[in-house]
Amino acid sequence: MAPIAVDPHTEQADENSKHNQVVIIGSGPAGHTAAIYLARANLKPVMYEGMLANGFAAGGQLTTTTDVENFPGFPEGVRGTEMMDLFRAQSVRFGTVIHTETVSKLDLSSRPFKYWREYAEQEEPETADTIIIATGASAKRLNLPGEETYWQSGISACAVCDGAVPIFRNKPLAVIGGGDSACEEAMYLTKYGSIVYLVVRRDELRASKVMAKRAMNHPKIKILWNTSPLEACGDGDLLQSIKTKDTKTGEIKDLPVNGLFYAIGHVPATELVKGQVTTDEEGYIVTEPGTTRTSVKGVFAAGDVQDKAVTSAGTGCMAALEAERLLAEEEDLSH
């Protein structure tokens, strides 16, 4: 990628500084939106975009998505990787210093907060007055045989992101899961697929009664009760079927589908702050209602760790503004 010119009206943080006002950990839509707002406010943000942190390339979950068609500003759609390259370019243009490294350790017990980069945990820590946690979440996967081969070639964890891709049009599709998300994704996919199989391990849906009723009554959705997926099969390039097992009879069948969508939940990447900020039972960071403020003053949570790309960008903006406000208040008090 060609070098990106930094806007001459903004100031950059010293790349070698051991202390910064604002450090952003994470590089998805939330992290970059926060970076853009902070850089334009001349707060010289420093971002750690991660080196395959949480199993993703810098840019987060969107880098695993083919065409993004539901983000404002891209009427023709945009590839996930291209979109995140544009986010990154805008952050750099306004002066954000980006390190392609992973923060592996945090100490939030007192301010300034201490943090260590991966492989430098034994060295002296670097410090920050405020930290924005934007490390995202990853979709739960089943790790079926064949899953890696057909990931993004028939298998996806985001129907809204990938459902309109041409390989799924007028083809039989399957959704794994029995909750509200699975029902929503199945109904969404009926716009594109010839039929949508909802593969449910049990003999009932975990979804709310309203969502379950909609799914069961939809003419293009067929629910396969007591069914577990065993293997993803295809021609080496594209998915063509999945092997399934009846959990009651043990019967194994081939289900011809060209698309397989996982809707079995997400895992937030919050191990870094576990035990230091309040999280809920699933590991998501708890924030004050209507804000990105966490249980630790000066630490903000934005994006999927807090609770899609549009939502993440919004909370990234909130985190930037709240960090800026806190720093301004503390500067006033110091004078």
Q: Write down the catalytic residue from 67, 129, 162, 304.
A: 162
The counts of H helices and E strands in the chain are: 7, 19
State the catalytic residue, choosing from 7, 14, 129, 161. Answer: 161
DSSP codes of every residue in 68-117: E-SSTT-TT-EEHHHHHHHHHHHHHHTT-EEE---EEEEE-SSSSEEEEE
3-state secondary structure of 180: helix
Q: Give yes or no: 161 in active site.
A: yes
Alpha helices in 190-302 (DSSP H): 209-217
Catalytic entry in 67, 129, 158, 183: 158
- Distance (Å, whole) CA 200 – CA 165: 24
- In Å, what is the CA distance from 328 to each residue of 42, 126, 335? 12, 22, 11
Q: How far apart, in whole angstroms, are the C-alpha atoms of residue 321 and residue 318?
A: 5
- HSE toward the beta carbon, residue 21, CA cutoff 13 A: 21
| 317 annotated active-site | no
Q: Give every CB contact of residue 7 below 8 A, 6+ residues apart in sequence.
A: 93, 94, 95
* Long-range own/partner contacts, residues 205-212 (CB < 8 A, 24 or more apart): 205/178, 205/179, 206/178, 206/179, 207/178, 207/179, 207/180, 207/182, 207/183, 208/180, 211/180, 211/183, 211/184, 212/183
Residues serving a catalytic function are 158, 161-162
